Chains A and B, each alone.
With several copies, the nearest count.
Chain A
Amino acid sequence: MAKSWKMPKWFYQLGSPRWFYDISSRLLPWFVIAAVVLLTVGMVWGLAFAPADYQQGNSFRIIYIHVPAAVLAQSCYILMAIAGAISLVWKMKVADMVAKSCAPIGATIAVLALVTGAIWGKPTWGAWWVWDARLTSMLILLFLYIGVYTLHTTIENDISAGQAGAVLSLVGLVNIPIIKYSVEWWNTLHQPATFTVLEKPSMPAEMWIPLAIMVLGFYCFFAVSLMLRTRVEILHREKRAGWVQQMIEEQ
């Protein structure tokens, strides 16, 4: 690790647990509302009103869960790696806690993407699981999440656990471009995919607008659960700090 670079003071204040706790208290309600509204609208629109696919009929509607989950799983990983890097370099406590909170959430979302994909695969490919690039690299992503999570829970010392998790998530960052591009690599390696999922521009607007809404909704929902988890983590780690004690007394 390089020597820690000195940053302006506000940068550190930004990362103070107390600041995060306060700001997240104010932001949380808005994100909850946004998540509920977006998810409901997107869900109703997507499931009830969007036209059925001419090839796949109604089974395609699972796209409204599958794609947001798949996209979010990757974003969450990137966030986890960035937060980890920040906590490694600048020893910022909040970044560490955010990274720690990302792992289980990301793992859950990755599982969701995998499961919805598998459910979708049954009617379209005739199999729950196929060894295709997307699927495999997604599975790797899940394993990476599990690995980071296991490091966080196995190492008793919180600081070391955070650093170890950060190193692994940074190393695993290599997987993200693999998820994106290995489709092509893989096709050249093994038999070409019989079914290409990427011909999206042909998708009519009535289909993709609800999809976009669902993606946004998923992001809001993610923000909510991330804040909740991080807040619990803050309370746990800072339990003896003055302001936490004070808050507990007030309640």
Chain B
Amino acid sequence: MTNKAASDLSLSRVFVMTLKRDLLLAYRRRNDLVSPLVFFLMVATLFPLGVSPEPQFLSEVAAGVVWVAALLSTLLSMDSLFRSDFDDGSLEQMLLSPQPMALLVVAKVCAHWMISGLPLTIMSPLLAVMLFLPSEGLSALVLTLLIGTPTLSLIGAIGAGLTVGLRKGGVLITLLVLPLYIPVLIFGTGAVQAATGGLPIAGYLAILGAILALGIVLAPLAIAAALKISVSN
């Protein structure tokens, strides 16, 4: 085996191990597996309660409400992404290991998405039904969530990285991240509305895809830099 191949192998091994570890950690505290979902459900429940339960009205706002709920529930779970690693010193260990930090970070964000964004996407048809979303919009909703939620996790992780060194980043992170979420929200809901109106959605999906691509390329570097800064503080 060449040296290069060996090191590629060890990189993919580190990626898989880190992913596995984070999934295992999530599984151990099973409540977290359920809760972003439940939060998602609850926001979508509160809304008809607080505003209006009329089906006609709800079917108009359904896409927006589902998206806002997805966004908030991702945001909520974001703060814990690096916090416990920071508190117990694992983050130091990651920074002082010979592995590239961006890789470890991608593994962590990946795990985060698999326990927040992905189940959320899978659940979204249920919500759509609860809120009387016209059925033409359903596939657009699922698709946009599938492309949009990884972006949310990536962007959120930048905020989480920047605030993890602070004694309480939980709310500051919102301030940093929410503005950057807005474009995703706009195109996501835009696509669903277009789909319900019978219009093509390829353009929206392309833009969402482009944002995701940009995020995948740039965010890991930004996150790794942010973490280095937070730890050296």
Contact = CB atoms under 8 A, between A and B. Distances in A.
Chains A and B touch (C-beta atoms under 8 A apart): yes
Contacts, number: 99
A175 interface: yes
Nearest to B158: A171
9 contacts: A1-B221, A131-B49, A136-B45, A150-B172, A151-B172, A164-B230, A168-B162, A190-B53, A190-B190
A131 B172 contact: no
Interface residues of B, number: 47
Nearest to B189: A189
Interface string B182-193: 110011001001
B114 interface: no
A137 B70 CA distance: 21
A153 B31 contact: yes
A87 B165 CA distance: 20
A151 B35 CA distance: 12
A147 B53 contact: no
B25 interface: no
Given A150-B34, A160-B165, A175-B179, A127 B229 contact: no
A170 B31 contact: no
Of listed B162, B187, B218, B228, residue having the most chain A CB within 10 A: B162
Contacts of A182: 183
Given A132-B53, A153-B30, A172 B180 contact: yes
Interface string B112-151: 0000000000000000011010000000000000000000
Interface stretch (A36-44, A100-108, A138-146, A212-220): A138-146
Interface residues of A, number: 39
B179 A144 contact: yes
A131 B166 contact: no
B64 to A, nearest CB: 12
A186 B166 CA distance: 36
A184 to B, nearest CB: 12
Given A155-B166, A171-B158, A164 B229 contact: yes
A150 B129 contact: no
Contacts of B4: none
Contacts of A178: 183
Interface string A161-188: 0011001101110110010001001100
Interface in B20-60: 29-31, 34, 38, 42, 45, 48-49, 52-55
B97 interface: no
Interface of A: 1, 88, 127-132, 136, 139-140, 143-144, 146-147, 150-151, 153-157, 160, 163-164, 167-168, 170-172, 174-175, 178, 182, 185-186, 189-191
Given A136-B49, A136-B182, A160 B232 contact: yes
B29 to A, nearest CB: 7
A98 B183 CA distance: 29
A132 B178 CA distance: 18
A171 B180 contact: yes
Nearest to B41: A143
Nearest to B161: A167
Interface string B175-211: 1101110110011001001100000000000010000
Contacts of A174: 180, 214
B212 interface: no
Contacts of B130: 129
Contacts of B162: 151, 164, 167-168
Contact of A154 (B155, B172, B221): B172
A24 B49 CA distance: 43
B3 interface: no
Nearest to B190: A189
A170 to B, nearest CB: 7
Contact of A143 (B179, B225, B228): B179
B55 A127 contact: yes
